[in-house]
C-alpha cells in the first residue's frame, strides 16, 4: 500500500490524511465491513491465525496508518512522515496523529474537544486536534473566535469543515473577529520554540503535550474550581478558559500555589489564598478577545519573532522570558524539523534567586546543530527598581510592565549572567 503514495510524493506532497479508514462502509448495517469478514493475522510475533472483522476492526485502521507511515519511509528514508488517521488502535500513535472526528459547531463540542484531547494524551496519543470551528453546522462568530483561541494551545491546530457547512475561514466574520484570530494564530508561531521543546520531551519521555491540570500539579485535583476546560501546555503554561465557554459570567481559576504570571501582560498574578491551601484562586471575567493563560513562576519560556510558516527562518533574536520562582528552569531544543537522523541541540537554562538579584545560567549545549538565532533577547519579569548585568550594555527596564530586557550573544558553552540592582 505504501508504494501507492509515490506519485503524490513525487509531486511534492508532504503529509497524508487517512480518512474513513475504520473502515467506513455506509451500505452495511454496521457502517463497516460485514462482521463475518475473515482477516488473516500473521505479523509482529503473533501466531498465524484468522479472525473475523468484529475483532480486527480497530486494528485495521491502525494498520492502514502503519502502511502509510512505512511506505513513506521507504520513499523518503530520512524524512519524517506526517500521517493523520481517523482510526487507530493501541500503539497507533507510533505511526500517525489523529483528530476527534466529525464534531459539531456547538459550544458543547468545543468543550468536549478539550476533554477528548486530554483523554487521548493520557492514553498515549499525544498528537490530536479537533476541527475548527466544528465540522458540521455553522459556528457563530463568537464560537469560531473562541475556538481559534483555545485551539492555538492544543497539539494540532487545523481548520476543517464539511462541504455543505458555511464557510469557516478565519477572515469571514469581519475585521474585529479576524484581528483576534490572527493574534492567536500568530501567538502559536511565536511560541514555537517552547512548543518544540515540549514536543521533544513527549518523544523522549511520553509526557503528554497537552495535560490535565492534575498531571503536574496533583494538588489541583481537590481545588474548588471547575477545571473541565483548564489544561496545561507542558508544565509551564496554564490555559484556563471558562468551564462554560459560551458564558459571560465570571469564574474561578485555581493555580497550584503562589507565584504565577499573566502570560499576556507578564505581570505577577495576585490571587486569593486560604491559609494552608496548596492553591491560589483568581477571578476571571470572560471577554471575547482574551483567553486566560498563565505562566508558572520558575518557568523560562523561549519564543521567537513572528513568522507566517514554520518553513521560514525567524528574523531576529531568540526571546527568553524568565519568570522568577522556585525550580527556575527551561529547555531549548531545535533541529531541522525534517530529518529523522540528523543534528540537534538541547540546552538547559536555569535561574537562581538571590537577595539582590538573579543569576541566569546556561548549561553547556548538547549537539552540534546550528540554530537560526545568533542572539538571545532575555526578558526578566516581575522586576522592580534599577538593573544592571555585568558585561552587558543596553539593559532596559520597564517600570509599568515590571521587566528588564537585555540582549546577549548565543550561548553555546556554559555561562552565567548576574542581574542585580546595584
Catalytic residue at 102? Answer: yes
Phi–psi pair at 16, nearest 5 degrees = -135, 145
* Nearest partner of 363 among 302, 299, 318, 415, judged by Cα: 415
What does the alpha-carbon distance between residue 23 and residue 39 come to, in Å, rounded to a whole number? 13
Q: How far is CA 65 from the centre of its chain?
A: 23
Q: What is the dihedral of CA 137, 151, 83, 305, to 10 degrees?
A: 130
The yes-or-no answer on residue 236 being catalytic is no
Rounded CA gap, 321 and 300, in Å? 6
Burial 306-319 (b: 16+ CB within 10 A, else e): eeeeeeeebeebbb
Phi, psi of 78 (to 5 degrees): -120, 25
Which is nearest to 133 in space by CA: 96, 170, 98, 99? 170
Helix (H) or strand (E) holding 388: strand 388-389
* Helix (H/G/I), strand (E/B), else coil: 214: helix
For residue 133, whether the previous peptide bond is cis, meaning omega lies within 30 degrees of 0, is yes
For residue 161, what are the CA distances in angstroms to 42, 102, 385?
Answer: 38, 9, 52
Q: Which of 10, 11, 19, 289 is catalytic?
A: 19
Question: What is the maximum span of the chain, computed from C-alpha positions, in angstroms?
Answer: 80
Q: Which of 22, 63, 173, 187 is catalytic?
A: 22
Is 252 within 8 Å of 213 (Cβ atoms)? no
Does 63 participate in catalysis according to the annotation? no
Angle at 171 between CA 302 and CA 161, to 5 degrees: 90
Q: Facing residues of 302 across strands?
A: 320
Catalytic residue among 42, 55, 63, 102: 102
Question: How are beta strands 403-409 and 375-381 bridged, if at all?
Answer: antiparallel
Cα 15 → chain centroid = 19
Active site members:
19, 22, 102
Amino acid at each position: 500500500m505504501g508504494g501507492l503514495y509515490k506519485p503524490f510524493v513525487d509531486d511534492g506532497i508532504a503529509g497524508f490524511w487517512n480518512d474513513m479508514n475504520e473502515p467506513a462502509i455506509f451500505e452495511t448495517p454496521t457502517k463497516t465491513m460485514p462482521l463475518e469478514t475473515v482477516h488473516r493475522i500473521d505479523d509482529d510475533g503473533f501466531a498465524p491465525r484468522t479472525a473475523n472483522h468484529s475483532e480486527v476492526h480497530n486494528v485495521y485502521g491502525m494498520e492502514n496508518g502503519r502502511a502509510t507511515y512505512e511506505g513513506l519511509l521507504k520513499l523518503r528514508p530520512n524524512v519524517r512522515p506526517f500521517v493523520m488517521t481517523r482510526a487507530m488502535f493501541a500503539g497507533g500513535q507510533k505511526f500517525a496523529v489523529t483528530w476527534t472526528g466529525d464534531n459539531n459547531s456547538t459550544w458543547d463540542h468545543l468543550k468536549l474537544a478539550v476533554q477528548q484531547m486530554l483523554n487521548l494524551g493520557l492514553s498515549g496519543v499525544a498528537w490530536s486536534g479537533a476541527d475548527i470551528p466544528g465540522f458540521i453546522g455553522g459556528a457563530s462568530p463568537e464560537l469560531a473566535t473562541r475556538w481559534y483561541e483555545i485551539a492555538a494551545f492544543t497539539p494540532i491546530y487545523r481548520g476543517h469543515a464539511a462541504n455543505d457547512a458555511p464557510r469557516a475561514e478565519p477572515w469571514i466574520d469581519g475585521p474585529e473577529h479576524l484581528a483576534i484570530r490572527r493574534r492567536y494564530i500568530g501567538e502559536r508561531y511565536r511560541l514555537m520554540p517552547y512548543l518544540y521543546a515540549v514536543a521533544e520531551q513527549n518523544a523522549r519521555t511520553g509526557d503528554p503535550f497537552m495535560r490535565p491540570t492534575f498531571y503536574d500539579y496533583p494538588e489541583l485535583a481537590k481545588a474548588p474550581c471547575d477545571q473541565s476546560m483548564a489544561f496545561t501546555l507542558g508544565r509551564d503554561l496554564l490555559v484556563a478558559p471558562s468551564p462554560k465557554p459560551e458564558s459571560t459570567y465570571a469564574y474561578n481559576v485555581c493555580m497550584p500555589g503562589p507565584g504565577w504570571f499573566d502570560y499576556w501582560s507578564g505581570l505577577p498574578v495576585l490571587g486569593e489564598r486560604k491559609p494552608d491551601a496548596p492553591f491560589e484562586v483568581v477571578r476571571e471575567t470572560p471577554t471575547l478577545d482574551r483567553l486566560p493563560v498563565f505562566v508558572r513562576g520558575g518557568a523560562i519560556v523561549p519564543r521567537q519573532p513572528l513568522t507566517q510558516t514554520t518553513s521560514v527562518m525567524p528574523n531576529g533574536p531568540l526571546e527568553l522570558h524568565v519568570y522568577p520562582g522556585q525550580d527556575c528552569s527551561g529547555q531549548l531544543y531545535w533541529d531541522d524539523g525534517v530529518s529523522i537522523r540528523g543534528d540537534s541541540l538541547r540546552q538547559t537554562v536555569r535561574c537562581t534567586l538571590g537577595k539582590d538579584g538573579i543569576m541566569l545560567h546556561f548549561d553547556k549545549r548538547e549537539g552540534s546543530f546550528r540554530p537560526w538565532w545568533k542572539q538571545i533577547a532575555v526578558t526578566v519579569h516581575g522586576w522592580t527598581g534599577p538593573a544592571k548585568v555585568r558585561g552587558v550594555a543596553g539593559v532596559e527596564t520597564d517600570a509599568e510592565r515590571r521587566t528588564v530586557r537585555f540582549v546577549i550573544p548565543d550561548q553555546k558553552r556554559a555561562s552565567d549572567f548576574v542581574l542585580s540592582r546595584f
